[in-house]
Structures are given as C-alpha cells and as structure tokens.
C-alpha cells in the first residue's frame, strides 16, 4: 500500500450534499489567499472544517431482529416519556423518547434505527430555537418518519432543526423500504434527532451517553431487561 493509499484509508468520505459548500469555501479561500494570505489561511481552516462536517464514515450496524440503533451521532440529551406528535397517528399514550443532540462537530448523516417501511413521512415548518431545549420537539422545524417493521412495531424518528440548522434533507420517501443503518437524511448545521420507541420498549442508554449512528443500540424490542440508569460524574 502506498503512502497516499494509506492516508486515504484513514479519511472519511464526504457526502455529496457537502460538495457545493466545500467548493464555495474553497473558492473564497483562494480569493482571500490572493488578496490577504492571513485571512486566506483562516478560510482554508474553514474549508477543512466544512469537509469534516460533511463526512460520511462507514458504519457496521448490528442486524439482529429487535435492535433499535441510534439514528444520529451525538450526545443522548434526554430519555423521557412523551406523547408522539399527533401528525404521526401513533396514539395519545406516552412512549419512551430518546433525544440525541448533534453539535456542529458531529457527523450529521442520519440513519434508520431498524429495518422496515417508511409508513408515514411528515414535514413541518417551525422555529429555530436551540435544539437542546425540550420545547424544540414541538416548536422547531422538523421532518418526521414512522418506520413500521415486519412484526408490526412502529418507531418514530424526528429530525429537528436547531439554532444554526436551516435545512433538513431527507434521502428517502414515504413508502420506501429501509435497512437498519441505512442513510435516511441529514440536517445542516447542528441539530437533534428524537426517537419514539414502541409502547413497552425499554431504553438501553442513559442521558449523557455518546451515541454513534447506525451502531449504538438504543433499545432491544425483544428483551425484557430492566431500564438502565446512568449518571455523569
């Protein structure tokens, strides 16, 4: 393996959604480098950050039936019970909701938490308050999925725009069949993803835990393990 191949193997691929932004940053860097090099170097750093933000690393997803994996990279900011949005037609009874907050340094490609069919997909305009606030689930701009499994379980995934985010990009459509860990969309830049588990499902993560999209197990729909308690010290 050559040195170039070795370096390339250590770098994460960039999602095509990022090409226009990276190109724009690079063009500005070239112009500023010509006008005033110190400012140009700052633009080079900004270009590198942009490429880093749009990274799309491969993930190894556990595929055992019943596992619900994280749809997003980030920090589990809240594990609570809440009633799913009425638009999703999941009933008025509270379910376990796991919220994952993505900072601008996290990978923002979102993945399906389990295999199934996109039974419902709803987009709602809204505000852009900080995504780590609880009211963001109801107030912010969001894109919502209901994924139905072959066994009849229904899991809701909600992409929520944040204070900086101004664009939610879905990669799938209503009616599509998805695999666990499959890319279903992304949010630009900094945001949150909520997961509503089926009634009776128990979370396997706690607040403050780091989640990796497509890999971290959030719940096991076939397990009877009691809830886990986590604390940050």
For all residues of the chain together, what is the average pLDDT? Answer: 85
**Local structure of residue 221 (DSSP, 8 states):** T
Q: Which strand ranges, in their side-by-side order, compose the sheet holding 177-178?
A: 177-178, 116-124, 142-148, 154-161, 191-196, 95-102, 74-82, 210-211
Q: How confident is the model at residue 230 (pLDDT cuts 50, 70, 90)?
A: very low
* Whole-number pLDDT of residue 79: 96
Average pLDDT in the 7-30 region?
78
Q: Kindly report the length of the chain.
A: 233
Q: Which of 7-16, 76-85, 183-192 has the highest mean pLDDT?
A: 76-85
Q: How confident is the model at residue 20 (pLDDT cuts 50, 70, 90)?
A: confident
Beta-strand runs (E) in 49-102: 67-69, 74-82, 95-102
Asked about 191 being catalytic, the answer comes back as yes
Q: How confident is the model at residue 14 (pLDDT cuts 50, 70, 90)?
A: confident
Q: Which of 29-33, 35-39, 229-233 has the lowest mean pLDDT?
A: 229-233
The rounded percent of the chain whose pLDDT value lies above 90 is 55
CB count within 10 Å of CB 209 equals 19
Domain ranges of the chain: 3-53, 67-220
d(CA 88, CA 108): 23
- Count CA atoms within 13 Å of residue 167 on its CB side: 10
More confident residue, 155 or 138: 155
Q: How confident is the model at residue 232 (pLDDT cuts 50, 70, 90)?
A: very low
Average pLDDT in the 190-218 region?
93
The rounded percent of the chain whose pLDDT value lies above 70 is 82
- Count CA atoms within 13 Å of residue 211 on its CB side: 38
* Whole-number pLDDT of residue 13: 83
CATH number at 67-220: 2.70.70.10
| Cis amide bond preceding 130, omega within 30 | no
More confident residue, 7 or 113: 113
Annotated active-site residue in 77, 99, 112, 191: 191
Q: How confident is the model at residue 196 (pLDDT cuts 50, 70, 90)?
A: very high
């Amino acid at each position: 393996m050559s040195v170039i191949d070795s370096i390339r193997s250590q770098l994460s691929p960039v999602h095509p959604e990022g090409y226009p932004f990276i190109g724009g940053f690079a063009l500005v860097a070239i112009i500023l480098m010509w006008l005033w090099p110190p400012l140009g170097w700052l633009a080079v750093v900004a270009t590198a950050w942009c490429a880093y933000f749009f990274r799309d690393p491969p993930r190894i997803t556990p595929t055992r039936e019943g596992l619900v994996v994280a749809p997003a990279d980030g920090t589990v900011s809240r594990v609570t019970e809440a009633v799913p949005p009425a638009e999703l037609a999941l009933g008025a009874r509270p379910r376990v909701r796991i919220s994952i907050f993505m900072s601008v340094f996290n990978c923002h490609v979102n993945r399906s938490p389990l295999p199934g069919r996109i039974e419902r997909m709803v987009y709602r305009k809204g505000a852009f308050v900080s995504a780590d606030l609880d009211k963001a689930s109801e107030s912010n701009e969001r894109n919502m999925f209901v994924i139905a499994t072959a066994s009849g379980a229904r899991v809701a995934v909600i992409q929520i725009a944040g204070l900086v985010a101004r664009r939610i990009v879905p990669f799938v459509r209503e009616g599509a069949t998805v695999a666990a860990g499959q890319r279903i969309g992304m949010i630009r830049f900094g945001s949150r993803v909520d997961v509503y588990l089926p009634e009776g499902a128990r979370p396997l993560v706690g607040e403050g835990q780091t989640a990796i999209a497509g890999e971290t197990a959030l719940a096991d729909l076939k397990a009877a393990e009691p809830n886990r308690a986590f604390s940050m010290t």
